[in-house]
Amino acid sequence: MSPRALISWSSGKDSAWALNDTRNEGVLDIVGVLTTVTQPYGRVSMHGVRESVLAQQVKRIGLPLFPVYLPAPCSNETYQARMAEVLGARREEGTTHVVFGDLFLEDVRGYREKQMTAAGMTPVFPLWHRDTTQLAREMLAQGLEATVTVVDPRQLDPAFAGRSYDATFLDDLPEGVDPCGERGEFHTVVTDGPMFDSPIPEAVGDVVERDGFVFADVVLSAECGVRCAEKSVPKDRGTP
């Protein structure tokens, strides 16, 4: 039997593609989705994605969700303790690996390796050191659809928030911004791709600035209604 693994799911494109590649490789048996959720906001940590959208992602992946609920603010000690609690329960069930979508930041990988070792898990990095320009185009060519949910305005124009992650988006990125946003320039939410069994109908609502970042609120079309539909960002909105 293949070793059992969790996918560390940020709700964005890189974790989605790590899941896709791992499934295609067939060496690990992905048995669950591991996601950190900031509990007071009811949103995926860092990416600001609503739990209702996360639930639709997990439904289309076809795997159980194992959320790690975090307070706000959250200390590193609290983060580690709550992550260890969830991972410990999964380890008792026979899960031994956790798959990450990290690309090239050595300090982030080192932190994950230390954390997983302490939890008795083996970290796996299927996208590690892939050329991010080629990877971005490959994801789009194979049907990935995503929307930009967060922009760091210190690295990228806030007008990129809420845009579709597509070829036009990549062409519009200024020099020095990683096409996959690996340095935190932006984050995404995936709404379709080969890792899903069907697309997620969605729209973009309010775009707000909070805690030094610009957030685009991606909502399910069924939750959206006329008000949100009128404000939704067109797929071809073009250059910011």
Structure tokens at 66: 């194992």
pLDDT at 1: 87
Report which of 235, 195, 229, 218 is spatially closest to residue 57, judged by C-alpha positions: 195
Give residue 223's pLDDT.
78
Paired tokens of 239:
């250059």
Q: Tokens 């539909």, residue?
A: 229
Residue 14 has what pLDDT? 98
Separation of alpha carbons 72 and 39, rounded Å:
8
Sign, CA torsion 200/207/47/17: positive
Q: How many residues does the chain have?
A: 240
Give residue 239's pLDDT: 30
pLDDT score at 228 = 55
pTM flag (> 0.85): yes
Non-local (6+) Cβ contacts of 228 within 8 A are 203, 205, 219
Architecture of domain 4-124: 3-Layer(aba) Sandwich (3.40)
- What is the residue extent of each domain of the chain? 4-124, 132-231
User: Which regions of the chain are under pLDDT 70?
Assistant: 225-240
**Spatial separation of the C-alpha atoms in residues 20 and 223, rounded to whole Å:** 28
Q: Give the per-residue pLDDT at 222.
A: 81
